[in-house]
Amino acid sequence: MKNNVKKRIGAALCSMAIAVSASISAGATTVRATSSGHSFDKAWEAYASGANYSMVYGFNTAWINEDYTWTRHNTTSHTAIVKNGKGQYSENASKKSWAKIEVTHNGSSITYKMVY
Full pLDDT tens readout for the chain, 116 residues: 555 544 444 444 444 333 333 334 457 899 999 999 999 999 999 999 999 999 999 999 998 999 999 999 999 999 999 999 999 999 999 999 999 999 999 999 999 999 99
Q: Do 101 and 81 meet the contact criterion of CB atoms below 8 Å apart?
A: yes
Determine the pLDDT at residue 41: 94
DSSP lists the bridge partners of residue 112 as 33, 82
Query: What structural domains and CATH numbers belong to the chain?
Result: 29-115 (2.60.40.2850)
